[in-house]
Structure formats: structure tokens, C-alpha cells
Amino acid sequence: MRRVTVLAAVAGAVMVLPLLGLLQRAPWSTMATELTSPGARDALRLSVVCSLGALTVALVFGVPLAWILARATFPGRSVLRALVILPMVLPPVVGGVGLLSVFGRRGLLGAHIGSWPGFPLPFTTGGVILAQAFVAMPFLVIATEAGLRQLDRRYEEAAATLGARPWHRFRTVTLPLVGPSLAAGAALCWARALGEFGATVTFAGSLPGRTRTLPTAIYADLQVRPEGAIALSILLLAVALAVLVALRGRWLGVS
Amino acid sequence: MNGALAADVGVRLGSLGLDVTVDASPEEVVAVVGPNGAGKTTLLRALAGLTRLDRGRVTLGGSVIDDVALAVRVPPERRPVAVVFQGSVLFPHLSALDNVAYGMRARGARRADARRRARDWLERVGLGAEHLESRPAHLSGGQAQRVALARALATEPELLLLDEPLSAVDAGAKGQLRRMLREQLAGSPAVRLIVTHDPVDAMALADRLVVVEDGRVTQDGTLVEVTTRPRSAWVAQLAGLNLFRGRVDDTNLVLDGGAALTVATDVRGPAFALVHPRAVTLHRSRPEGSARNAWSGEASGMHLQGDRMRVQVDGSPPIVAEVTPAGATELRLAEGGPVWVSVKATEIDVYPG
């Protein structure tokens, strides 16, 4: 029993110590100036725009995907679900390389659509959004699919017998009832997009004002202005904690 | 003016095959009764368009809403059919009022208009004004069923389907709810079909019974017809009667189980024999006298019903007898003890099977 306690304490320390270190080295007195410096403001603006953009992409395309996974029966559904979860376990840098090989100048699609408006995507703000959506969308899809599966189908059937057409049913019954699952998925998805680094830096680089989001800014700053990097890190830590508190009922087993 | 329902429904569902014909007119309330798992709910779902037919055709007021051969299948939202689901199935995120307004809103009514009419409907089904804005979680089973009924009636359906409308209601509230249901059903111009496994509900609410067992209609008739001429053991049991099935040759009814009863009838061939438990006499030893049918058995179950004792006798054939508690004491009846049974031939009601 004592051995178990010691091992558990080590595990706890591994997870908590870095956070304490961050707080200990935080430039509390100059925090406001650090966070409002032009570089930080650019990164902050880009991060907000891109993470919300990625969340929008995930909502528009991910909710229908969750619907298909939860409701349709077709061969290969379990394979599709596995592929959807894959980005959650795939090293993000590999995702970035994959995106380059599709949307890059000589990529699978990039070679053909590179001249369309909004393209090519690599090393653009749009590319950041795509990279973040690739990595973060599974969180939304999985949570929404689980919510749809748990939903009693009879509510939608009742709506149908009352004369509600499919889209009206979805809007007035399905969506409100899976709302909590969808909101939790959206929060996780957004938080993951906000923190995305590997796929972003690989696919979109780290161009100040265009593709340098908070995580890439932290990495770039660390060598030259560590106090700036730590200030931005504290900011991201605070956001992560806020998301966790918002989801505590669902994810920490507290009601 | 609403028209009649004519349904010929075939659905394969795992081990259950449903294969029934049900006709109903707007002038009557029809109860589909039968044991649990007989396919009653499947029939209701098929009529509502929620379960796909494998075979058959459904017309309502002359228009086809389902026809497998013609590949016609009107989706549930376009059928003039409303359902009161078992357990209400009210939308948990909407108030009682908005639940009732839902159908009218889905059909394009303006919000204020729909809510005003919903209020009228809820008043008609007797939901207190203080519950109008309550969420379903805060309603009792009886209140929820009132809302569910109002929600279905508010769409002014041509066919109203009710699935076990009184099952989620506690005994105290049941009588009142049954009365309300009876009034509302009487006032509705729709074809009304109730699915229930509770014979009391069926008899209180319906004019005609359709008995469904193992996915087949075993009997279809008025209450009196069904209870006085039961054609299945399930119906006989719920009417509290003994039913035997066999073949009459001359004066003997040879039962499917092998035993034979002496009967007095002109019926020949396959037949049912109905024996009221009060016509069954019990004895401590082999009876003497005029009774032509006598056999021995074991008193396997005894329970008091009103002022009578019902005694299940396991013999060949098994039978239920009704005696007075005093008679039971006199016979020194004990569960598991031996007993003799006799039934007069003239007390056996025989009709063609």
C-alpha cells in the first residue's frame, strides 16, 4: 500500500510540477505589458480567429459526420469511426505532413486547386484553421456521436408523428437534447485547436501576423524572450483551466 | 369528415412475425388487446409510419398511406395520425404548454396562436393552470399523460393511436384519468385505437376488442361477444372463465390435451367449451349423482377474490373452480392436496371452434 502511494505521488508530481514551475517563473509584475506587446496581441488575435474558425469547420462538417456514425448503418462504419479518432492519437506533426502532401503546391489536390481563391493553403491563416480542424474535430465528433447514441429515439419519433419534418425535428428536438454533449465536444475541440502546435507549424509555419498563433509564438519566443513565452503560457494555462472548470460536471465525475 | 381505417399489416421483427388485419371506423373506439409481446405496439408503430411494413396496405379515409406492393409509404410527419406513446414521451426540454403547441408549430402555426390553442387543449384534458409552464420532469405520471393526450389531439388527427395510455399512472389517479380519457375519446372525431394489455382499460374505454396473440388476430368483436364467446385461453383467463378446445363427436368433447368431457350440444367438429368457475363443484372424494364429468386433481393454487375463493385444480384437464370460503373450509382444501372435480354436462357452453 505504501509503495502504491509513493508511485502515485510521483505520477502526481510529474503532472503538477511543470505547472508550478511555470507559475514560479511567471513575470507577474510585467505580465500586462508582455500580454499587450504587438507580437503577443497579433498571436492572440490569430489564435482566437483560427481556433473559432476551426471550431466552425468542425461544427459544420463534424456534426453531420457524428450523425452518420450514430444513425446510419453501412459497411465500414467501424473503420470510419477508427479513422475519425486517429487524429487524436496521431502525432500532430504527421498530420501536418499529411496536409502538406494533399494541399501543398505539388500535393494531391494542391496541384489542381492551388490557383483557386483562398488557395494555396500552406503558410496561410486558412492553413492554420485547416490544421487545427484536422487535429481538433475528432473531439467534437466523438462527443456528439455519443450524445446522439444515448438519445431516446422516441423523442424524434414523437416529433415526426406531430408533423415535424426532418430538419425541423433536428432543430427543435435532437439539437436541444444533445446540446450538453455537443457543447462539451465543442469546448474540448476549441481548446484543442487553441493549443495546436505540431500540425500548424508543419503545415502553416510561424509567420508573425499570418500564421503565428499563441503556441507557435511561445516556441519562437522561448529562445529570445523567455519571459514573453512564459506570460503567453500562463495565459493558455488559464484558458485550459477555465475549460476544465466549465466541463467539470462531465469530465471530472463531479455533479 | 373522417373516414375509416383499413389496415392489413405484415411486419417481420426477429422472432415475432406480425400479420394482422384491423378495420376501424370513426364511430367506434377499438381496443387492441393481448398479452405482452404479442405485437400490439408494433402494429401501432406500423400504422403511425414508424415501422416499415414488410407486407400489406393501410388506407385511412380512402387514401393509401402505406402499400408495399405499390411502393407507397407516407412518412409519419405527413400522415394525419397522432400517437399517445407509452410513458408519454413528452419533450423534456419544453414546458407542458410548448409540448402541446409543438404539433401546431411544426405545421406552421404562429407561436402565440399555437400556445393559445394549446392552453385550451390542456384545460380540456384537465391539467391545472399552475402546471402549464412545468417541464415534464416536474409532472406526475397522470399529468404527463394528460399533456400527451392534449398534444396528440391538438394536431386534429384522423387516426388517434394510444399505446397503454394508463400504464404509467399510479392506481389512485387511474380512475380519474380513465374517465377523462373516456370523455375525450368520445368527443374526438378521429378513428381511435387503443393498445392495452389491461382488460379493465379495454372494457372501460372501447366499444370493440381486437385480440392479438403471437402476432395474429385471435378474436375481433364487441365486448360482449369476446367475453361470452372467448376464442383463446388468454381472453378466457382475463374474463375469469375456463376455456377448452377440442372436437365434438356425438356427446363427447375430446380435448386437444387428450381428456374428454361429456357435453349436451348440437355442435359437431372443432369446438370451444366454456365453463364458468361457479359451475365447477369440488368434492373430497369421488362424487356420486348426476354429474357426468368427474375427475381428480390437486389443488395447486387458491386465492380469495371478493367473497369467493378461486381454486386452481391441476388434473386432466386443469380447471379453475369458485367456492365460498366456508365451502373451502368444509372441504378441508389445502394447496397441494387432492380434490375431486365435477361439472354437469348442461353447464358446459359449447360453440364452434
CATH numeric code, B240-352:
2.40.50.100
**Distance of alpha carbon A241 from alpha carbon A189, whole angstroms:** 15
Chain B residues with CB under 8 Å of A154 CB are 85, 89
From residue A190, give the alpha-carbon distance in Å to each of A86, B55, B230: 18, 50, 66
pLDDT at B112: 94
Q: What is the pLDDT along chain B (353 residues), one digit of tens a residue?
A: 468 999 999 999 777 789 999 999 999 999 999 888 889 999 999 999 999 999 999 999 989 999 999 999 999 999 999 999 999 999 999 999 999 999 999 999 999 999 999 999 999 999 988 999 999 999 999 999 999 999 999 999 999 999 999 887 888 888 889 999 999 999 999 999 999 988 778 888 999 999 999 999 999 998 888 888 888 888 888 788 899 989 998 788 998 888 889 888 888 889 999 999 999 999 988 888 766 789 999 988 888 888 888 999 998 899 999 998 888 888 888 888 889 999 988 889 999 88
Give me the phi and psi of B207, to 5 degrees please. Answer: -95, -25
pLDDT at A254: 44
Contact between B47 and B81 (Cβ < 8 Å): yes
Helical axes B96-106 vs B141-153, angle rounded to 10°: 20
Chain A residues with CB under 8 Å of B102 CB are 159, 162, 164, 172
Contact between B260 and B250 (Cβ < 8 Å): no
Task: Name the strands in the sheet holding B281-283, side by side, starting at the edge strand that comes first in the sequence.
Answer: B281-283, B338-343, B293-305, B308-315, B319-323
**Distance of alpha carbon B133 from alpha carbon B143, whole angstroms:** 13
pLDDT at B226: 87
DSSP B22-41: EEE-TTSEEEEE-STTSSHH
Contact between A101 and A108 (Cβ < 8 Å): yes
Cβ neighbours of residue A153 under 8 Å, at least 6 residues apart? none
User: Domain extents for chain B?
Assistant: 5-234, 240-352
Contact B77 A164 (CB under 8 A): yes
Query: Helix (H, G, I), strand (E, B), or coil: what is residue B195?
Result: strand
Contact B102 A164 (CB under 8 A): yes
Assigned fold of B5-234: Rossmann fold (3.40.50)
End-to-end CA distance of chain B: 39
What is the least distance, in Å, from the CA of A214 to any CA of chain B? 39
- Each residue's pLDDT tens digit, A85-98: 999 999 999 999 99
Report the 10 Å Cβ neighbour count for B250: 8
Report the 10 Å Cβ neighbour count for A165: 14
Handedness of CA A78, A79, A83, A88 (dihedral sign): positive
Contact between B182 and B204 (Cβ < 8 Å): yes
Closest partner CB to B102 (pick from A154, A162, A177): A162
Q: Exposure pattern of B166-188 as b/e (b: 16+ CB <10 Å)?
A: beebeeeebeebbebbeebbeeb
Nearest to B293 by CA among B323, B313, B269: B313
What is the least distance, in Å, from the CA of A86 to any CA of chain B? 35
B75 touches chain A (CB under 8 A): yes
Nearest to B131 by CA among B151, B149, B146, B116: B146
Give me the phi and psi of A122, to 5 degrees please. Answer: -55, 140
DSSP state of B164: S
**Distance of alpha carbon A83 from alpha carbon A78, whole angstroms:** 9
Q: Which of B73, B93, B162 to mutate to test the interface with A (most CBs of A within 10 A)?
A: B93
Nearest to B21 by CA among B177, B270, B212: B212
Q: Exposure pattern of A111-140 as b/e (b: 16+ CB <10 Å)?
A: eeebeeeebbbbbbbbbbbbbbbbbbbbbb
Q: Exposure pattern of A16-55 as b/e (b: 16+ CB <10 Å)?
A: eeeeeeeeeebeeeeeeebeebebbebbbebbeebbebbb
**CA closest to A175 among chain B residues:** B93
Q: What domains can be seen in chain A, in order of their start residue? A: 48-204 (1.10.3720.10)
The one-letter code for the residue type at B50 is: L
Chain B residues with CB under 8 Å of A157 CB are 48, 50, 76, 85, 89
Q: What ranges in chain A are assigned the alpha helix state H? A: 2-25, 31-36, 38-57, 63-71, 77-89, 92-103, 110-113, 125-150, 153-161, 166-169, 175-194, 198-204, 214-224, 226-246, 248-251
ipTM of the complex: 0.82
pLDDT at A250: 60
Closest partner CB to A165 (pick from B77, B79, B103): B77
Contact between B315 and B309 (Cβ < 8 Å): no
Cβ neighbours of residue B159 under 8 Å, at least 6 residues apart? B5, B47, B60, B79, B80, B81, B82, B190, B191, B193
Contact between A213 and A128 (Cβ < 8 Å): yes
Contact A160 B92 (CB under 8 A): no
- Residue A255, pLDDT > 60, answer no
Cell of B161: 393511436
Confidence of residue A112 (pLDDT cuts 50, 70, 90): confident
If you average pLDDT over every residue of chain A, what do you get?
Answer: 90
**Distance of alpha carbon B204 from alpha carbon B166, whole angstroms:** 12
